[in-house]
Amino acid sequence: MTIKRLIICEICGRTSTCQLRRDICHSCYKRETKSVCKHCGMAKNQVSSTTGLCPRCIKKLSRPVAACSRCSQIKSIYDEKNWFCKVCKDIVSYSLRKQGKAQLGKVECSVCGQLRISCQLQRDICLTCSYKERNGVKPCTQCGQSKVIINKAKNLCKYCYHNELAKKSLTVYVINFSTPYPCNKALFDLLVSTIDWSSVSQKINQQFRRFGRFLQQRYLPNPLTWEAIEENLPQLEATNRAIPKSIRSSLLELGHLLAVQGKLESRENYILRRNALQPLNTAPIGIQPLLQLYVSWLWEKKTTPATVRDHMEVIAAFWTWSFKFAIYSPEQVQPSFISNYLLTLYWQWKCSICQKAVDFDPHQRQPPEVCLGCSSLHCFTQASRYSHNTIRQHCSKLFVFFEWALNNRLTLINPVKHKVPALPPTIKHYPLEIIPQLCEYISAPNAEPLEAFVLYLIIFHALSVWELQHAEIPTVLSLQKSIIPLSLPDAYYIIVPRPKPSRGSRTPGRPSTHLDFPEIASSWAQREIVYPKPFETVSRFEF
């Protein structure tokens, strides 16, 4: 039986468990180039370039071929100490185990009949059945369940006995913990400060030990950033996920603790910033340094992450198209080139048979003769690609980008000469006949409370999606446990925080974050509500 080892992968440098003889994780092992072995004919890793053999065949062919000392047949010798062939080695090993002189492999338990490792030399019995015979099955004094008793003195089952020892075990481990990286020791102490020692269990003990081994082997930068945390998160495989999940949860908890202390941005802001920069990776490599400077300018202008992502999607798509025509810098872009690009956004060729779409070429405005999807001839028709508002947004973002390039002397002119006019504004809403029906549903006694409450906030108080996500129930922290916190019907108001102002939206928002419910709605609003956790959003209310 191959034993798993905790190793540092020699390819990617991450900590992982391994059953191979090499220090390589499962993901890197699967990505390695395979070659066909000359002996076994199978595609294997690490096939020797000189012999053309895989490591298994090299080991197999390197065994001496001689007469076995037991059966006297000419075979490959597997046990060079006793000079046994494979069959004789297995027979002798089996005999030794049955005689109680060695414990090799699993045997059938004489009590439960399962294949287990025997805990006794004179008898084939597993450890669980041995405890069951000696201590019996009784109700545990802690959990109250009838289980096999492990600790006879305190009448504890295995789970409760390990939880009994967890606090002392974790205390000793925390006191004696050391790592060659001083910053890792400070991070470990910060995580230890959050332990509730009155409720330490074996699961918490194992989690801190796993994370401690990780900090002893992996260096974390100081100061710690969300990028460094994401880079050091171990990969979750299909199996053996307990250790990676413990390390991942500990790293993320460290990030949240540092964010509370003000040493790190919040996880929410980091995810928004990361998503905003994702389109940057789709742009050609030659233009990415310039786009990074443009992104820095957008951040200085207090642009929201969603708007930055919109800019990056438009600019990255434009430069991907430009590189096809050997346009590598802003000074090479001319007004005619922008016009041709906008034509590719307006139009596309579409097959009338298989509906396959082909990009519109402004330099050659004839449709393709043959469809590559269905091999039909002369089947393409000109069709619109994007809506008018989408092209208007593309044009405006290109104008802002080249205006920035002009101000920074990266181009002589702004090639975006004309702006796409806006369509007359329209408001999309439900038909007026639907609104009274929704209002009747809000006050109906059989209405779903959560749906009715959210509809009430949208229709009567005009809460946006962002406000619904961040609305809070008023929380009163009592000094005594006997004081019951206020519920939503008792408080009869919610707190709607103001969003941070941005370059595009500088409105102060609502006059007050205190949103009171009218007295006229008390006849249906005073329903029994289960008070959720403090600072839980309205979208997660439980009625």
Q: What gap in Å lies between CA 167 and CA 70, rounded to an integer?
A: 55
- Coil vs helix vs strand at 290: helix
- Coil vs helix vs strand at 39: coil
Which pLDDT belongs to residue 261?
A: 92
Q: Which residues of 82-111 are buried (b: 16+ CB within 10 A; e: fewer)?
A: ebbbeebbeeeeeeebeeeeeeeeebebee
Q: Which residue has the tokens 């975006």?
A: 416
How many helical (H) and strand (E) elements, i.e. helices and strands, does the chain have?
Answer: 19, 17
Which pLDDT belongs to residue 58?
A: 84
Count CB-CB contacts under 10 A for residue 338. Answer: 20
Which pLDDT belongs to residue 504?
A: 65
Q: What gap in Å lies between CA 64 and CA 41, rounded to an integer?
A: 22
Which pLDDT belongs to residue 524?
A: 62
Q: List the one residue out of 165, 189, 190, 191 whose CA is nearest residue 178.
A: 189
Q: What gap in Å lies between CA 140 and CA 259, rounded to an integer?
A: 42
Q: List the one residue out of 259, 197, 250, 202 whose CA is nearest residue 226.
A: 259
Which pLDDT belongs to residue 406?
A: 94
Cis upstream peptide for 223 (omega within 30°): yes
Q: Which residues of 275-312 are buried (b: 16+ CB within 10 A; e: fewer)?
A: ebeebbeebeeebeebbeebbeebeeeebbbebbbbbb
Average pLDDT, 10 consecutive residues per value, the chain (543 residues): 69 77 79 83 82 84 80 80 83 68 65 82 82 86 88 88 91 90 92 92 93 90 92 90 93 94 91 92 93 94 91 95 92 92 89 85 82 83 88 93 94 89 81 87 83 86 87 72 67 82 70 81 54 36 34
- Coil vs helix vs strand at 389: helix
Q: Are strands 15-18 and 35-36 parallel, antiparallel or unpaired?
A: unpaired
The 10s digit of each residue's pLDDT in 288-316 is: 999 999 999 999 988 889 999 999 999 99
Q: Which residue has the tokens 């209310």?
A: 541
Q: Are 53 and 37 in contact (CB under 8 A)?
A: yes
DSSP string computed for 122-185: SS---HHHHHHHHH-EEE-TTT--EEEEEETTTTEEHHHHHHHHHHHHHHHHHHH---S-HHHH
DSSP string computed for 300-353: HTT--HHHHHHHHHHHHHHHHHHGGGT--SGGG--HHHHHHHHHHHHEEEEETT
